[in-house]
Amino acid sequence: MKAILIDDEPLARSLVREYLAAFPQIEIVQECNDGFEGLKAVTQHQPDLIFLDVQMPKINGFEMLELLDQPPAVIFTTAFDEFAIKAFDAHAIDYLLKPFSQERFNKAVEKWQQQKDQAELIKNTQALLQTTAAAPDRQDRIVVKIGTKIRIIPEPDILYLEADDDYIKVYTPDGAFLKSKTMGYFENSLDPKKFIRVHRSYMLQISQITRIEPYEKDSHIAILKNGAKVPVSRSGYAKLKQVLGL
Partner 1 sequence: MATSPFALIKFRLYFVGAWVVWALLHAAVLHWFKLSVETALLDSLVSNALLAGACWFISSNLQYYQPDQARLLYFGIWCLLLSGLWLLVLEYVLPLIIENDPAYEIFLNNSLPVRFGIAFLTIGWMVMLSVLWYSQQDQKQSEQRQADAEKLAREAELFKLRQQLQPHFLFNSLNSVNALIGSRPQEARRMVLQLSDFLRGTLKREEHQWVTLTEELEHLRLYLEIEKVRFGHRLATEIIADEECGNMRLPSMLLQPLVENAIKFGLYDTTDEVIIRLQAYCQPDLLEISVQNPYDAHTAQPRQGTGFGLSGVQRRLYLLFARTDLLQTFADNTTYTTLVKIPQLP
Of residues 33 and 219, the one with the C-beta less far from partner 1:
33
In the complex, the smallest distance separating the C-beta of residue 39 from partner 1, rounded to whole angstroms, is 13
Of residues 145 and 239, the one with the C-beta less far from partner 1:
145
For residue 59, is it left (φ>0), alpha (ψ between -120 and 50) or beta? beta
Residues that bind partner 1 (CB under 8 A): 8-12, 14-15, 18, 33-34, 36-37, 55-58, 79-81, 97-100, 137, 140-141, 152, 154-156
In the complex, the smallest distance separating the C-beta of residue 122 from partner 1, rounded to whole angstroms, is 27
In the complex, the smallest distance separating the C-beta of residue 239 from partner 1, rounded to whole angstroms, is 24
Taking only Cα atoms into account, the Rg of the chain, rounded to an integer number of angstroms, comes to 21
Of residues 37 and 220, the one with the C-beta less far from partner 1:
37
Task: Reduce the DSSP state of residue 226 to 3 states and report it.
Answer: coil
Of residues 12 and 206, the one with the C-beta less far from partner 1:
12
In angstroms, the CA 53 to CA 75 distance is 9
- Between helix 82-90 and helix 118-131 the angle, nearest 10°, is 140
In the complex, the smallest distance separating the C-beta of residue 143 from partner 1, rounded to whole angstroms, is 10
- Runs of H (alpha helix) within 91-138: 102-114, 118-131
Give, as one character, the DSSP assignment of residue 245: T
Of residues 80 and 245, the one with the C-beta less far from partner 1:
80
Residue 77 contacts residue 52 (beta carbons within 8 Å): yes
In which element (H, E) is residue 3 found?
strand 2-6
Of residues 14 and 210, the one with the C-beta less far from partner 1:
14
Query: CB under 8 Å to 74, separation ≥6 — which residues?
Result: 49, 50, 51, 52, 65, 93, 125
In the complex, the smallest distance separating the C-beta of residue 154 from partner 1, rounded to whole angstroms, is 5
Give, as one character, the DSSP assignment of residue 155: G
In the complex, the smallest distance separating the C-beta of residue 176 from partner 1, rounded to whole angstroms, is 19
Of residues 122 and 153, the one with the C-beta less far from partner 1:
153
In the complex, the smallest distance separating the C-beta of residue 225 from partner 1, rounded to whole angstroms, is 18
Q: What angle do CA 12, 113, 108 make, to 5 degrees?
A: 40
In angstroms, the CA 113 to CA 30 distance is 20
